[in-house]
Chains A and B, each alone.
Chain A
């Protein structure tokens, strides 16, 4: 067992990479084999993740490294923070895979889709496990490359345009990140991520360069995290199939950016250097602005997925904001929101996809009375929406609570104002939808109804994932104080991050 331990990180990546590569070579008609491979990959990955979780919880270091660049090996490292992201993406991958199999039933080019889908998750997990900046950069770019075919998958003029824009933003961001990483590498090589950062000795001598590096890194990561001026790709990328949107928004892309910001702030620069460099406040302002802007724009969208997209822009910046506050409580809020937002947003996207796939509904105004036709889906949607607003006992409440506490802790009272305002806006764009679903009568016939199941409201593969994630949203909220909740895990991480001295 212990002999396996150092190889766990690479095994976790390979468990989705290898099935992905095999799936590429499959014929369109080999559906069974493809499904089987997908499921095998997920299961194996979950087993490996569980093993790693046990090890990390027991305080063991799990590191795998390959020689790569001089001064920067390819390091895969399992610590508490990376595990948080790994677990999130593995579990949500399971849900999304099932969902995608149901969603794409009968559509062409599925081998290509599932191949890239697996590559995408491999890249995300690799990114989570990256042990230094160079490795992170590598997986960050691979993630761009793996998600691009998914965004463009439908092959319509609209998705081509969206994919071009997506590439323009993300490759640009990738280049900025690369420049920043190279700058830091020139200054100190690329050591492993260390709690508390490794740049403190340089703050006095290379202040300006470090500030520049911070700006470059945040700009590069901000593209994926959809920070304010760099968010333009996200609403357009909505043309992708629903499982892709779900994955992009909840797990892979935006979270990769947010996760990167966490890593850069805590494990590369460290709280102390950030404070001395005076770079946290601009980031905080930017994040706050993005939160309000995203919510405000979401209000005006009539397309369900577009509204969810702007909501994502807003919600992901909670994570950034929590990181930028530099206080332990805010950090807990940020980390736990990373998980909670992922689960809630994926629920919402699954539901939106169900509406579109079963009844052909894309517009909010067509949702009238859908609660009667699709009660389970609508229930999941409602729970997700309530979570987004931050109503107890959902998971969203927990994270917002901690973020508010964090703001008070670092004496940034105005941020609480931001949270309240954003919460109100969230309510303003989610509650009317919920109202329409449950409390209004159907006026028009469904745009494009399909009979996907005899007994259930829709195909079971489409129905079970949102129910599963809905359950998670509730459980994470209700059992937040138990040992295995994301909250206590986040507290563990923060304890390790902030107690380095």
Chain B
């Protein structure tokens, strides 16, 4: 468990030192990111070998202490966030001078990593609240790095986020009032199916859905994610919305009484359908390229919702696997999308989709990164997105959900439509938008890295599925 501790404390300490000595920031950032990636890999190995690890902070009785738990899903998520942090930091380092990235980016992004890692590890309802709040504040602070134009989206984001945390806190308070405990494993199986529990769960779910930007509570997301600087958008879309999702899954799989599962599954299903179809259409229609990617996040989260809904209504392990595969594939692909779109926006000095015309001639690598990442979002083999979709398809055939198969088909085509909306334009040769300055290769390569990582994911499907299966047994 000292590995897990390192994963939280190293970025935290690094951030504090960066604040003290801003000059060291870049070096510290890279060192901390590298160290975290190594530690996370070691932790994953450890968990695979020895099973899930636990820690009661301070060594107190489970009732009193805050519990940390590193099971295989947690270990995977820890590794995912460390790796993404490393990749995004690399990109940020490459472009910081050109993009005039504010100095505050370094400590804030390190704090983002620390708070995410703390969230993945925590199994205490109130501690999760603090982590959520922390995550929300870091995210908003990062959005404000864009300066004036980002202030209003940032404030909206903050207000939504605060409201959501309060809903969550109220739910937790009700649960505590009824059952007198905050520790998730302790509460497991304790909850009775009465109106109090229902109210608590509804509030918790509502708050988390708002935070995770689940359709139809996603209204704050496109503006906030589109306003932030590219590396920040990448982190936000890839990781931050996954935090509340993780808690939601925890709550519904461990806490909720069996009697509620069906209703919840239906509610999630409706949201999932809305996200997959309507948010996809919104992505298809928006004129701005970053907003397109942001709407795509909302749409892609629909897959996770769908997986969660199916997980609750059918007791099939494939859906659990599908859920986390979606989360991972989307995180990597979306990071690549935002970085490449950001790179093109910076270099070409444009915001609209239509102005990306001819980008495959002016910035072939960045466009390629976008297309490759988009391929994973669509679910083309052999990408991580394909793996997730494949696993889900198997489950759907097995559960004989023909309507949902149809929905999945349409959703896939919609996502293909909005991805290729950009890619096709990029091949337009008539009057391509001229770059403001000569495109830089290194950042484009760095934007390509997460996209390549997500395609590599498919070739690690066996170990990945093995890890996810370990969780279930």
Contacts and interface: CB of A to CB of B under 8 A. Distances in A.
Interface in B383-438: 387, 389-390, 393-394, 397-398, 405, 409, 412-413, 416-417, 420, 424-425, 427-430
Contact of A68 (B382, B413, B420): B382
A69 B390 contact: yes
Interface stretch (A90-98, A149-157, A297-305, A383-391): A149-157
A410 to B, nearest CB: 33
A58 interface: no
A134 B416 CA distance: 20
B382 A70 contact: no
Nearest to A66: B459
Q: How large is the interface on A (under 10, 10 to 19, 20 to 34, 35 or more residues)?
A: 35 or more
A183 interface: yes
A145 to B, nearest CB: 7
A164 B421 CA distance: 8
Given A109-B361, A164-B420, A182-B390, A156 B413 contact: no
Nearest to A157: B430
A251 interface: no
Given A68-B458, A186-B398, A154 B429 contact: yes
B465 interface: yes
B438 to A, nearest CB: 15
Contacts of A68: 382, 458-459, 461-462
Interface residues of B, number: 35
A369 B409 CA distance: 52
A186 B424 contact: no
A179 B409 contact: yes
Nearest to B405: A179
A141 B385 CA distance: 14
A66 B456 CA distance: 13
A227 B397 CA distance: 26
A376 B412 CA distance: 49
A67 B394 contact: no
A175 B427 contact: no
A145 B374 CA distance: 12
A174 B375 CA distance: 13
Main secondary structure of the interface of B (DSSP, over half): helix
Interface in A151-181: 152-157, 160, 163-164, 167-168, 171-172, 174-176, 178-179
A138 interface: yes
A186 B318 CA distance: 12
Contacts of B420: 164, 167, 171
A142 B455 CA distance: 12
Contact of B380 (A145, A155, A168): A145
Contacts of A70: 461-462, 465
Contacts of B287: none
A155 B413 contact: no
A112 interface: yes
A179 B425 CA distance: 29
Nearest to A151: B427
B382 A155 contact: no
Given A67-B462, A68-B459, A70-B461, A179 B429 contact: no
A175 B412 contact: yes
A341 B131 CA distance: 65
A362 interface: no
A182 B397 contact: yes
A138 B412 contact: no
Most buried by B among A66, A172, A176, A178: A178
Contact of A171 (B364, B382, B416): B416
A32 B53 CA distance: 60
B430 A155 contact: yes
Nearest to B389: A178
13 contacts: A66-B459, A68-B458, A69-B462, A109-B361, A137-B381, A155-B430, A156-B430, A157-B428, A167-B420, A174-B380, A178-B381, A182-B393, A186-B398
Query: Nearest 5 pairs between A and B by C-beta?
Result: A155-B429, A182-B393, A186-B397, A138-B381, A152-B427
Given A24-B364, A70-B461, 14 more contacts: A66-B459, A67-B462, A68-B459, A138-B381, A138-B382, A154-B429, A155-B430, A160-B425, A167-B416, A167-B420, A172-B413, A178-B393, A182-B393, A183-B397
